[in-house]
A and B are shown apart, each in its own frame.
Chain A
Amino acid sequence: MSTAALPADFLQAITEGFPVDFLTREPGELQEYGRDWTRVYTPAPAAVALPRTTDEVSRLLALCHQHHIAVVPSGGRTGLAGGAVAARGELVLSLQRMTRMGPVDLLGNTVRVQAGAVTEAVHHHCAEHGLTWPVDFASKGSSTVGGNIATNAGGVKVIRYGLTRQWVLGLQVVTAQGEVLELNGALEKNNTGTDLRQLFIGSEGTLGVITEATLKLTQLPGKQDVFLFAVPDVAAVLRLFRDARRQNAFSISAYEFFTDRCMARLGRHRKLRPPFETPSECYVLLEAEAKDAAAVEGWLGSLFERELVTDGVQAQGAAQAAELWALREGISESLSATGLPHKNDISLPVAGLEAFCAELEAIFSARYPGWEICLFGHIGDGNLHVNVMKPDAMDKAEFLAHTKQADPTMFALVQKHGGSISAEHGVGLLKKDYLGYSRAPAELALLRTLKRALDPRGILNPGKVVDA
């Protein structure tokens, strides 16, 4: 936990081979860089390295390999699985100084960026050319391209664009031994055997450090309409989704849901006004691009006649659209600001959601009778964020012990319905013990083999995802 954890000859080599400001051991910084968005582990890194170039990353990793020093790759630290947590005297390797963005290639619709570039900065960089990198969620102002790729991040536009994986053409990765790999360049097509780039996407810093990426871009979407609907329950959320999905009058770019409990926390934290006079148990945010305005109007009118919704509003202008989005995107932050949430991020096959949700209720009342559970998520992707809030009177340790006991029951249900125990947040430290609910023993064995092959000394993010 202190500098003593780093051998003197290693420190000597750093002093001799790297800029003076390469390493920091200032206690405030160690606190800051030692954790991600999760607040479960006490940060305790030995030091933070802040390289500016791939060459520095490469030489640093070679040195760490030589000295058996554990390294935690670190981006914007907005991760929700504890993947970027350094609680055991590791060296944090922050990509924060590697933010360069190359020119946008307007013929290929690509851009080459360093891994520390902030997601939203990439958006601004490309928007001038009418293009975007469609990886989009509430933490985009802090999360980095490297972190997005390392977690294969999802977000609010997955229903239209898919996951981060779909939007990465090429990767530059530094291996545990310090070797620099250039994978796939800027090629759309390259069937020359197993695509190694895919190994690193979603590997959460356990197989290599991403230093640069060639991103695939797409046209900025046209005019979007934003609606918020009030519906009586989760079953109604799914009924409306089934109906919306069948329409040809518009294409859906987001279908998000949240419960009134989330709204109440938002109200307390941000003083956001509820859009409806009468509260409802569930709300749906629909963002859609109209192809046939008259047909969209017809559909909207029919929602009331067919009792698919009980109320609804349509944003008039960009400011109101942003206000409605703030209701959905502010939830994660408001839950953490007003209490301690125990987060689960699960996914189910969309067709199985209804049956799953019906059984989930039973688990809640058995395991958490009378507790506050805040549900929200990218329901259009079959993705639910389940947030169990710590009762105010309970202490943190007891709360964590309780949720730890209750989780397996829910995960068993997820498994039964063919779902995943981590939809988009990754495994990190938080979900590691439960990986068996989503991955078969033979798969886990293969993951371990891969880890040993790529990182024989186990220096890259040890203890995260799987143990070698």
Chain B
Amino acid sequence: MADLGLKAKDFKSDQEVRWCPGCGDYAILAAVQGFMPELGIPRENIVFVSGIGCSSRFPYYMNTYGMHSIHGRAPAIATGLSTSRPDLSVWVVTGDGDSLSIGGNHLIHALRRNVNLKILLFNNRIYGLTKGQYSPTSELGKITKSTPMGSLDRPFNPVSVALGAEGTFVARTLDSDRKHLTSVLRAAAAHQGTALIEIYQNCNIFNDGAFDLLKESDSREDWIIPLEHGRPIRFGKDGSKAVVRASDGSLTVADQVDEDDPRLVIHDAHVENPSYAFSLARLSSSDARYAPMGVIRSVTRPTYDHLMTDQLDTAAAAAPGDESALQKLILGNDTWQVA
């Protein structure tokens, strides 16, 4: 990509950042601003569209074009922008409530269409902006202001939802791991079509420590399942844990797996059939603490934007679309003269 000589600071707007001190959103903002120069895309061709929530304030802090819209609707708005302006690089920033409660419908439809959007889903497993109600990703039994006796609804796993919609690019990363976050952004930016990145984000006010297990040095290696395309899926402090394929074809975590164990799974993000990626996502259902991280799925499919443009081009090549053609169209075939 072209080096335009841009630096991270060129992507900082003049607006004061107003998240709570210590909020994970800061780290994500810094990582995104740090990554943007690498894109090699001039600032004017980049647009950030968000919904409503703490996370959705994001566009105000980016010195690009941006729209802070309404709750849940960012994927729909971005779809109209991206399909009508395929020349732009369009990014969506959304929260777990924004994307999976009120905007769930738009999210799955953007994914199934494969609109050329990069969707950053900040998952803090809580409603931040409205001060701490449980969200659709909060764990069962969560005690919050609106659920004093514990929440009753089972959470969504955003990665499973995205895979259920057969999203072409689905990844997961962590706010505090700048290097990993940046590598996932890089892979998403290179992807043609909808890229969904779930970013585990700490809300230190209403759900502090939600991801501590994945952050603290004495536990993270036990619970993060690192996914790298073409590499065996091994983890654990001494690297002895691994994802293996059981005799019934399902994936499970096993301990003490040798390098040459035939059951050992080599990660392949490009498998067409989403069931493999889905099985990876479901590893957390055996133990909710497991967190597969990285690019879970990345497959090639034409983008909606290009398919739509192709239809316009095909139609324009088949028949003229100038003013005289329009005149003919509105005249139709059954006219008469009044003299």
Chains A and B form a bound pair: no
